[in-house]
Structure 1
Amino acid sequence: MAQYTTLSPEELTDIVSHYAIGNILLLEDIPGGFGNSNFKLTTTKGTFLLKICDEKNIEELRMQIELLKHLQQHSYPTVYPIPLKSGDMLHVTPDYNVMIYPFLEGKTPDPSQKILKQIGSALARLHSISPLTGLPGFPMGMTQITPFLEEMVNTNFYSHPFITWLNSELEWIRPELDKTLPKGLLHGDLFLDNTLFDDDKMVVILDFEEACHDTLLIDVAMTIIGCCYTNKHQLDISSVHGFLNSYNALRPVTDEEWESLDCFVHYAALSIAFWRFRQYNIRHPNVQLADIYQEMIARSANWQSIQF
């Protein structure tokens, strides 16, 4: 998907010199991802994921590293960054910030009940881990949407059909977001491409860059939007049932949460649609990706209330 930063041979050599990971053999672009530049780095000591952190500032990246250390203490199944020779986990330069991870073999799965049962258990386990002090609220939600809409008022974008749709949806969603529901540690962006499977067995949950402390139902709904639809954006009902049953077995969903689930599914889709619209129409205009926000609108429209 997005590729924001490229590396010269000299820049790559400098980065690798700060790590005890051997000598460079090959660097390959990795397609996919919306907020970073990712590369597969092969050296004389193995294969690694080299990530240029294009979206987050140093303070945000430091918080992300502290969260990963926190998750490691709980033996949570994710991938952890490789330290530099200095012991730090973030390589900082004037032009970009770098994190290097082990490169794990596996694939992004297709939705199925078996796959989503495992994701449900993994998410419930995450929600049982206490959040770190200082984590932000949901970063793609109202704290970003509200100022964005204010900024759009006197621009040509304000008459765009997406802005009209966004305002219309928020009229009925906003009151639901004010309800008092359980809060905790969220992944924040649990789509299928943020999981890694070996055949039909889960290896890890990836990319905690949007991790936050907020309403747990946001994560439940986001996982439905991100993991329970086909590549044609049709809802896979059996996957939803597998996910919710597995999650509920470990972290029982309250009656109030069940009542609000429909709204939060639409809110999750709206939040991702907002991020994509802003990213590829305003922040980093990209003709090929300008309409990708419409996938989330389609998923929202194809949601069906689930009875339990």
Structure 2
Amino acid sequence: MNSAISKFKFNDILQREYGFDDIMSINTLPGGYLEEETWLVCLKLNRKYVVKIINHEFNVDHLTTILNFQNYLYSNINYPCSLVISTLNSKLVVQINNNHYLFIQTFLDGHVPSLIELDESYLMKMGTLLGQWRLASRTFISIVPSTNIEKRELTCQWWIEQFDRLSLCKHLEKIDINYLRLILVECQERLNEKVDQLEQGLIHNDFQPSNTLCTDDDRQVYIIDFGEACYAPLIVDLATALFLLLTNGIDDDNRLNTFLVSYKNLVRLDRHEIELLDVVIRLKLTANFIGDCCNVKSKEEYDHSSWLQSCWKWINALHQERRNLFQTMICHK
């Protein structure tokens, strides 16, 4: 059981806060960054719920707003995601201690798609769902104060953190720190004067195939893991999704175009977003690469990480010969 909560306290919270008096079993589920973070709770009559125990670094208002948005998606536009369950006192979040929170959502029965399953049909559904997210975010933000949502992306503090992380990668001799710094500086110069002109809203911030579930029978696509959601320029969500597709092996023009076209069928990108899309893609790719390299302990670990090798390949490609890859796709469709 998670060190933040004993098994006795875990059961006590479920009974006291949610009225779960008929628990049949509690088992861990894969998912999340921390061990024993996600649990499957089975009740009588085949009722299943997913319990998330998280060490949340932001305030509880932020987390509650994210979960409210998840329920808004589920209830108002029939979005394929879990429904967050309220406590008996109508709370979405239960605080366990100073740093840990707990919330419960409905169980989705599906699997993370394999690379073979990520065909044009699947990518079309993903592009549509990201577009629907953006449209729903506009409406939601108009009725919920954005002050309740943490701003994490492209803020002054965010830029400081990216440059600070570079120094933590010096132990990896294969990493050209100066080259990565050059990319960050170039992107910062391009974005600083225009970021305020970009439409802001609530973004998923980790929209990728591994954060989707596919049903075995009708290939319904569900979106999961809203934990990285924050308030940021909405183009960041599209940029993040595209670089994650590239680095996860979705690098052919047909599938990338399918994703983009299905997104654009719902969302009209303005000229600033089109102009800056490739810049934000390079920035997010580079920042994620640097962040992951900080956690690599040795050259051998780096060499055996297919994810980092893929990131490095695309950092070079997008910084050099394919700088306007997605702007070209958008303008020719």
Question: Structure 1, residues 156-179: CA drift from partner, whole Å, max 9, x if none?
Answer: 656753754542211211122232
Q: Which residue of 1 aligns with 2:102?
A: 98
Q: Match for residue 208 of structure 2?
A: 191
Partner of 1:52: 53
Corresponding residue for residue 39 of structure 2 = 39
User: How far 1:32 moved relative to its partner?
Assistant: 3.1
Q: Cα offset for 1:151?
A: 5.0
Question: How many equivalent pairs are there?
Answer: 298
Name the CA distance, whole Å, in 2 between partners of 1:119 and 1:272: 21
Higher helix share: 2
TM-score by length of structure 2 reads: 0.75
Deviation of 1:251 after TM superposition, in Å, equals 0.9
Cα distance change of structure 1 residues 32 and 65 upon mapping to structure 2, 3 Å threshold:
closer
| Partner residue, 1:264 | 280
The sequence identity of aligned pairs, in percent, is: 20
- Give deviations 1:273-300, integer Å, cap 9, x for gaps: 344345x369xxxx97996655533443
Distance 1:273 1:5 in 2: 30
Shift in alpha-carbon separation, 1:163–1:30, aligned structure 2, 3 A: farther
Change (3 A) 1:302 1:51: farther
Whole-Å Cα distance in 1 between the matches of residues 90 and 286 of structure 2? 40
Instruction: Give the superposition deviation at 1:117.
Output: 0.7
State whether structure 2 residue 312 is matched by structure 1 residue 297. yes
Q: What pairs with 1:132-211 in structure 2 (closer than 5 Å)?
A: 132=144, 133-134=146-147, 135-137=149-151, 139-148=152-161, 161=175, 163-178=177-192, 179=194, 180-199=197-216, 201-211=219-229
**1:32 alignment partner AA:** G
Q: Deviations over 1:127-148 (max 9, x none)?
A: 11222422333x2545454332
> Does the 8 Å contact 1:49/1:101 carry over to 2?
yes
Q: Compute the displacement of 1:219 (Å).
A: 1.0
Structure 2: any 5+ residue segments left out of the alignment?
none
Q: State the SS of the aligned residue for 2:159.
A: helix
Does the aligned pair in 2 maintain the 1:113–1:242 contact within 8 Å?
Answer: yes
Aligned residue among 61, 64, 67 for 2:66: 64
When the two chains are superposed, the root-mean-square deviation of aligned CA atoms in Å is: 3.4
Residues 47-56 or 288-297, more deviating: 288-297
- Structure 1 pair 116–101 and aligned structure 2 pair: CA distance change class (3 A): same
Find 1:114's aligned residue among 105, 121, 142.
Answer: 121
Matched, 1:276 2:292: yes
2-side partners of 1:19 and 1:234: how far apart?
42
Which residue is equivalent to 1:251? Answer: 267
Identify if the C-alpha distance between structure 1 residues 80 and 56 changes in structure 2 by more than 3 Å, giving closer, same or farther: farther
Cα distance between partner residues in 1 of 2:155 and 2:286: 10
Query: Cα–Cα, structure 1 residues 23 and 162, in superposed 2: closer, same or farther, change >3 Å?
Result: farther
Aligned pair in 2 of structure 1 residues 293, 80: CA closer, same or farther (>3 Å)?
farther
For the residue of structure 1 that corresponds to 2:89, the secondary structure is coil
Q: State the TM-score, normalizing by the size of structure 1.
A: 0.81
**CA separation in 2, counterparts of 1:97 and 1:28?**
18
* 1:8-40, Cα deviation, whole Å (9 max, x unpaired): 321321222121334333322222323681122
SS across alignment from 1:227: helix
